[in-house]
Amino acid sequence: MSRALREAFHREYMTFFERAERTRRWNLFTDIPWDELPASAPNEQLAQCAETFCGVEMFLPDYLSAHLDAVGGNYGQAWFAANWGYEESKHSLVLREYLHRSGQRTEQQLFDFADDVLARTWTRPYAEGRQMVVYGAIQELTTFVIYRKQRELALRAGDHVLAEIYRLIGRDEMAHARFYQRMIELHLDTDRPGTLLDLAHVLRTFRMPAEDVLPDYEARIAVMRTAGIDSGVFLREVVFPSLGAVGLTRHDLPGPRERAAVDSELRHRKAAVT
């Protein structure tokens, strides 16, 4: 990666970090209205979803090592990974606390669940750092859309505490998505054809993290449908807004024939350089 791009990432990270420090920090112990947890019967469907998302967030050690593998001497990206890891670490913790403090799971059940989750391994889905940036943008925005839906469901069920938790963690996910979008823009400025190829490739093959590795995932699928992310929602609320945020529409993405042409041109260029 060129020095100019590394410096641009660093400047972008400083903007992200300043905003995070000034406007987005929240405290798991003091900012959640724990004493307002509903006394009425727990809503098992919401609890199942909270537990599932807690599990997805729990693959943090694997996500972090994927981040750090992709850093390659890039200062801005490394510091982003550290800060991102801190923010994400609170997401599984706050959902875990919710499940415990609301009496819907015992401490023992939660330890068993963590053991089950951490016995599995998530591996990064793309080899290239730039593809992982695109993946990050899509994954973070998808997570934001999921949490927004869960927040609505929690409000409807009268669980304001869970709704507030989803509001706070959803706001973090949106900030992460925006950071990745800025990185995509910087990549587009540096190598537009290659970045467009990576965008097309990741959008074609994207899967949510941990879908395959969560314990009892099959059993969770029915409940997870309440998350409401079908392919139409994914296109409307994740793919098109992500493209729009970086100044593109789907018509800018290379189709199969163009992909092959750009691919061979890039290979050509690479061969000429080496």
Binding site residues, Fe ion, CB under 5 A: 88, 91, 140, 173, 176
Instruction: For residue 86, count other CB atoms closer than 10 A to its CB.
Output: 10
The residue (of 28 and 266) whose beta carbon lies closer to Fe ion is: 28
The residue (of 164 and 173) whose beta carbon lies closer to Fe ion is: 173
Beta carbon of residue 34, minimum distance to Fe ion (angstroms, whole number): 20
CA distances to 188, 206, 268, 274 from 44, rounded to whole Å, are: 45, 29, 57, 59
Beta carbon of residue 91, minimum distance to Fe ion (angstroms, whole number): 4
Torsion of CA 241, 199, 181, 130, to 10 degrees: 170
Beta carbon of residue 95, minimum distance to Fe ion (angstroms, whole number): 10
128, 76 contact by CB (below 8 A)? no
The residue (of 57 and 159) whose beta carbon lies closer to Fe ion is: 57
CA distances to 37, 132, 168, 202 from 135, rounded to whole Å, are: 36, 5, 22, 6
The residue (of 88 and 164) whose beta carbon lies closer to Fe ion is: 88
Instruction: Taking each helix axis as running N to C, give the angle between helix 107-118 and helix 75-101, from 0 to 180 degrees, rounded to the nearest 10.
Output: 150
Beta carbon of residue 53, minimum distance to Fe ion (angstroms, whole number): 8
**What is the C-alpha to C-alpha distance for residues 143 and 155, in angstroms, rounded to an integer?**
18
Counting DSSP H helices and E strands in the chain, the numbers are 12, 0
Beta carbon of residue 198, minimum distance to Fe ion (angstroms, whole number): 20
The residue (of 55 and 129) whose beta carbon lies closer to Fe ion is: 55
Q: Long-range contact list for 146-154, CB < 8 A, 24+ apart?
A: 146/53, 146/227, 146/229, 147/53, 147/173, 149/226, 149/227, 149/228, 149/229, 150/46, 150/49, 150/50, 150/53, 150/227, 153/46, 153/49, 153/226, 154/46
The residue (of 76 and 136) whose beta carbon lies closer to Fe ion is: 136
Beta carbon of residue 169, minimum distance to Fe ion (angstroms, whole number): 6
Residue length, the chain?
274
Beta carbon of residue 172, minimum distance to Fe ion (angstroms, whole number): 6
The residue (of 76 and 170) whose beta carbon lies closer to Fe ion is: 170
